Structure 1
């Protein structure tokens, strides 16, 4: 039996660029509440934005569809699943076409060649992409509570309960 999340937050947005920010804000709020660092929250927001933007740009015709974003909250990690039920694609083919990024390439050609997939895989601890009857992107980020930046001193003050 697999481990059940402590909490599950589901969000469904129209597959339109105007709504990608809502997914970013939702993930940011959840990650902040869980205790992720600022840098990790920024990574999570960018990875979710890339997954949602890929769905907006490639899954549906003229924004006629929905994107589901599920945030599975565990004690030590956040697992985000972004689902569209639009056009599927062959992940291995996109990765093969992407190849190494050269300095001679324009930013537009890099973007069209899988930069979003590269970013998601770089920013997250684990990324799994399945393309069958739509696309399911599962991204995992672990909380690193034992990492404290050298310029941060531990708090010695007590906060009273409200």
Structure 2
């Protein structure tokens, strides 16, 4: 099993706290050595997922939470955003997350407009799990997509 550090925060499901989560993700990405452009991509993709949770997860009269978890590896950052409000086991949740399976799941994530498109475009991997709520799982590899740095090294050594 690969070693990683994990940070998790819970924010009220309110628009004014989305910036707090963006700041956390930005700080973690900076600490890991991501480029400015990659950090901006991480912030945009995360904002889309968090905004979707804030706007769609709870009824207007219902108090809710959004959980943001970040697993920091040497070569990547994995971000989980869950709207069910309870803390979760990172490894257990990761086992049950997969790509969307049918058009209704895809439509659910597309409700906010370009959200899913932006997440898929800006991140290296995007998966989600819909059960008690929605959990979005996004991965960004340090130095580009998986295998990209190996291809660049092979080209440079040729």
| TM-score normalised to structure 1 length | 0.72
> Which has the larger share of helix?
2
Q: Matched residue of 2:70: which SS?
A: strand
Q: Structure 2, unaligned stretches of length 5 or more? A: 86-99, 150-158
Q: Structure 1, unaligned stretches of length 5 or more? A: 99-110, 147-162
Report the Cα offset of residue 96 of structure 1.
5.7
Q: What's the counterpart of residue 122 of structure 1? A: 121
Q: What's the counterpart of residue 132 of structure 2? A: 133
Q: What's the counterpart of residue 10 of structure 1? A: 8
Report the Cα offset of residue 112 of structure 1.
3.8
Post-superposition Cα deviations, 1:45-69, rounded to whole Å, max 9, x if no partner, equal 0011001000011101126100000
1:92 and 2:103 are equivalent in the alignment:
yes
Q: Matched residue of 1:64: which SS?
A: coil
- 1:91 and 1:115 mapped to 2: Cα distance? 18
Moved beyond 6 Å, runs of 4+: none
Q: 1:23 to 1:127 in 2, by over 3 A?
A: same
- Alpha-carbon RMSD across the aligned residues, in angstroms, is 2.5
| Higher Rg of the two aligned structures | 1
Contact 1:90–1:131 (CA under 8 A) maintained in structure 2: no
Q: What's the counterpart of residue 35 of structure 1? A: 33
Q: What's the counterpart of residue 80 of structure 2? A: 81
Q: How many residues align?
A: 130
